[in-house]
Structure 1
Amino acid sequence: MSNPFQDPGFFRNPYPTFAALRSASPVRKVPGGAGQSSYLVTGYAEARAAFTDPGLSKDTARFFAGKETGRNLHPAVSQSMLATDPPQHTRLRSLVAKAFTPGAVALLRPYIARVTDELLDAWVPGERTDAIEALAVPLPVAVICQLLGVPDADRAAVRTWSNELFAAGQPERIDSASHAVAGYLADLITAKRRTPDDSLLSDLIRARDGGDRLSEDELVSLAVLLLVAGHETTTNLIGNGLLALLQAPESLHRLRDDPGLVETAVDELLRLDSPVSMATFRFATETIRLGETEIPAGSPVLIAPGAANRDPARFPEPDQLDLDREPGGHLAFGHGIHRCLGAPLARAEAGIALRALATRFPRLRLAVPPEELEWRHTRLMRGLVALPVLL
């Protein structure tokens, strides 16, 4: 079969492609770049099983050992916590997990609300506004930079590098951005070592310098992962969620009128248009079986939460936004030991932002037809380039 990701309409709307693939087989071999095929998982039951299958590894260094990739990714990006297995993954995750617990996030909620209000104060009624650049980007960037102690003056550069890291089909841009962001954080670590503060980055430096089993390379890599992953998913969640609500105004009005609906709404928006369309790389360390498909040892495996979350075998009428749907069960944040560490923070930011929009601008509407919206060209993330709205 042809490469499904090369269809020019895939980035605009991947769901018909996902549905066709899932209907043919919820796990199937698809062509990839450089002649390398992968097994794509689009069924819900199969995706959930794949996330916890001990025969699937995320240790990309092991997979690519001795292979010529032609790439120049900085090790802080190519060998991050996302690309490790236990016990290394367990050790690294434990060092940052406390910063993203529900309790820790609850302490951040006033700051999130304040930044949201400040951003929305700049929106002018009657004028066209890009909700991505005016809210969906700066809010999560401000929050994760606040957590890590990144100076205000550097936040625009952080966003640019992060955006470049997900430029599908442009390896040189991705590689260059990886070196830029890793170099910046290495310098920031040096500065915070001289002048510590109460940021999460300073906490990690103390763990490293206190001999808490964290190498200097691991420190830089954790910082890169937290900075990039700490806002990318949330930016897409806010943008995709707002678009879905604008296309279903009655749901937007319900969100305005019923504060208790926020958590359920965020869950349903995560399911409907998952901010992570394709999970990061895995490979089979042994022959495994997912559903009816046998996957040989050494094969790359791609799990598609965006497809799994619209599997009609799990979610009735999966293409419909339904705020009365039983919450939970979706795979937007993954599943198992690699489930997104920042899920509580992303939920809080999206809930606060979307409710504020619904409350402050009840007549908010799209400024262009939906078919004219431009989507980011990245297989991993699902997000808008811009979302023009009218107040």
Structure 2
Amino acid sequence: MAETTTAPAPAPIPAHVPGERVIDFDVFSPPGSQADYFGAWLALLDGPDLVWTTANGGHWIAAGGSTVRGIWEDAARFSNEALAVTPGLGEVMEFIPLQQDAPEHKPFRSAVMKGFAHQHIVATEPLVRGETVRLIEAMRPHGHCDFMAEFAEILPVHTFLSVIGVPPEDRVRLRPLGRQLTRPDGTMTVVELRDAADAYLEPYIRERLASPGPDLFSRILSVPIEGRAWTFEEAQRMCRNLLFGGLDTVVAMLGNVMMHLARHPAQQERLRQDPGLIPDAADELMRRYPTVAVTRNCVETCEIDGVTVERGDLVYLPSVLHNLDPRSFDAPETVDFARKLTQVRHSTMGAGPHRCVGAALARMEVIVVIEEWLARMPAFTLAEDARPTFRAGNVGALDQLALAWQA
């Protein structure tokens, strides 16, 4: 998904796009997003539910909650094959199962979900808790930290690499690849990014195919695909998919959760006094701070929000514009630990047949981090004069988050 450092000229506006739906909006750099990522996106709620931008080759943006959610769930008319608004990305990455449509998608998705079965998530919790405690105990005497660099960039990647059975210390080598996919800076082409991931994964994939172990990749590759074994190419595409999926989203999520608690000492204290609230609080915080956006390509010309979406058009779906639309949730910007999310499902983890396969693992990580941080750290705040900064992209994330406490 690499972008050039010099912005390309705006793409021509297709004839079927009404002029009043065209806006100046680059999803990789929304105006003001560095200081206020969520506010930058929420500005789109003031207009139509579907708008067109000429940035990044030209594409639609779903800008209303029901439209975001509706297209996300509409696998019949909107495919995930294109993967992103960057031209050519889908053809290069060829992720399994993320870029597959029915019926091809089902057996591969089923195999992956078996790898993420509940008993495996439960078995991973001691690993997550142990690493969380280690990182907290190392930071606590200092009285301050950059939460992103010293915790969020470490724990989820350490966890994922441990789960797939590769050396956790390879985080230093692999973490930049995750950033390049979701928040490209132009230093790598898409082909270079794919090839770097494949070069790293290949020996592990061949080993797992020949002699499966207890790791996540082995569990998935041990599940036959409609009665036959996985081919190497299929295994490579699946492992590539999961590697990129495991390198960035939880990093971003943890940063936003901790930023909120630092800014809201009363809610922080409430969770300290009643840890039983933490699972519901984790769900609500994940709803309140969604940063993932996906792209769907239209495979059947249709009308949405009063305009024609033609076959081949790309539609960008920001989860923030579903979760924080007042038409989707009451007082959506308010964090309410008693909110009953079973009534309206949020879109932080996606929706429909491509909902995030690692959602349960991510949720468990967030819960464990909140539990251990509040049990072991004194009250904490944003450091004096701290200004959290964001970088937008297909996964928006904090660049830095300075926290402070009494050591």
Aligned twin of 2:376? 360
Of 113, 132, 135, the residue aligned with 2:151 is 135
- The one-letter code sitting in structure 2 at the alignment partner of 1:309 is N
In the alignment, structure 1 residue 55 sits paired with structure 2 residue 77: yes
In the alignment, structure 1 residue 31 sits paired with structure 2 residue 45: no
Deviations 1:263-318 (A, max 9, x none): 21112111211131x12x21111122334443122211111111111101122222
* TM-aligned CA deviation for residue 7 of structure 1: 4.2
- The one-letter code sitting in structure 1 at the alignment partner of 2:402 is P
Equivalent pair of 1:167/1:173 in contact (CA under 8 Å): no
Q: Give the count of matched residue pairs.
A: 379
Deviations 1:179-224 (A, max 9, x none): 1111110122234456643212233444579973522112112112
- The one-letter code sitting in structure 2 at the alignment partner of 1:147 is V
Secondary structure of 1:122's partner?
helix
Of 14, 33, 38, the residue aligned with 1:15 is 38
Relative to structure 1, the CA distance from residue 338 to residue 192 in structure 2 (aligned partners, 3 Å threshold; closer, same or farther) is closer
Relative to structure 1, the CA distance from residue 37 to residue 74 in structure 2 (aligned partners, 3 Å threshold; closer, same or farther) is closer
Correspondences of 1:1-391 after superposition (within 5 Å): 1-5=23-27, 6-33=29-56, 36-53=57-74, 54-60=76-82, 69=87, 75=92, 77-168=93-184, 170=186, 172-192=188-208, 196-207=212-223, 212-276=228-292, 278-279=293-294, 281-328=295-342, 329-370=345-386, 372-376=387-391, 378-391=392-405
Equivalent pair of 2:388/2:400 in contact (CA under 8 Å): yes
Q: Distance in 1 between matches of 2:225 and 2:218?
A: 10
Secondary structure of 2:281's partner?
helix
Unpaired runs of at least 5, structure 1: none
Q: Distance in 2 between matches of 1:44 and 1:307?
A: 5
Given the two structures, how large is their TM-score scaled by the length of structure 2? 0.85
* TM-aligned CA deviation for residue 332 of structure 1: 0.7
Q: Distance in 2 between matches of 1:140 and 1:57?
A: 29
Equivalent pair of 1:234/1:275 in contact (CA under 8 Å): no
Secondary structure of 2:347's partner?
coil
CA RMSD of aligned residues (A): 2.7
Q: Distance in 1 between matches of 2:239 and 2:385?
A: 39
Aligned twin of 2:5? none
Equivalent pair of 1:44/1:308 in contact (CA under 8 Å): yes
Relative to structure 1, the CA distance from residue 74 to residue 335 in structure 2 (aligned partners, 3 Å threshold; closer, same or farther) is closer
* TM-aligned CA deviation for residue 338 of structure 1: 0.8
Q: Which range is displaced more, 166-175 or 207-216? A: 207-216
- The one-letter code sitting in structure 2 at the alignment partner of 1:373 is P
- The one-letter code sitting in structure 2 at the alignment partner of 1:21 is L
* TM-aligned CA deviation for residue 148 of structure 1: 0.8
Q: Distance in 1 between matches of 2:26 and 2:180?
A: 23
Q: Which range is displaced more, 202-211 or 281-290? A: 202-211
Relative to structure 1, the CA distance from residue 212 to residue 253 in structure 2 (aligned partners, 3 Å threshold; closer, same or farther) is farther
Q: Distance in 1 between matches of 2:187 and 2:129?
A: 37
Relative to structure 1, the CA distance from residue 72 to residue 283 in structure 2 (aligned partners, 3 Å threshold; closer, same or farther) is closer
Q: Distance in 2 between matches of 1:257 and 1:102?
A: 29
Relative to structure 1, the CA distance from residue 51 to residue 236 in structure 2 (aligned partners, 3 Å threshold; closer, same or farther) is same
* TM-aligned CA deviation for residue 177 of structure 1: 2.6
- The one-letter code sitting in structure 2 at the alignment partner of 1:93 is R
Q: Distance in 2 between matches of 1:104 and 1:207?
A: 15
Equivalent pair of 2:96/2:238 in contact (CA under 8 Å): yes
Equivalent pair of 1:81/1:89 in contact (CA under 8 Å): yes
Q: Distance in 2 between matches of 1:169 and 1:116?
A: 30
* TM-aligned CA deviation for residue 85 of structure 1: 0.7
Secondary structure of 2:98's partner?
helix
Unpaired runs of at least 5, structure 2: 1-22
Q: Distance in 1 between matches of 2:47 and 2:133?
A: 47
Equivalent pair of 2:114/2:220 in contact (CA under 8 Å): no
Q: Distance in 1 between matches of 2:36 and 2:79?
A: 29
* TM-aligned CA deviation for residue 118 of structure 1: 1.5
Equivalent pair of 1:253/1:362 in contact (CA under 8 Å): no
Q: Distance in 2 between matches of 1:81 and 1:369?
A: 44
Identity %: 25
Equivalent pair of 1:186/1:220 in contact (CA under 8 Å): yes
More helix by share: 1
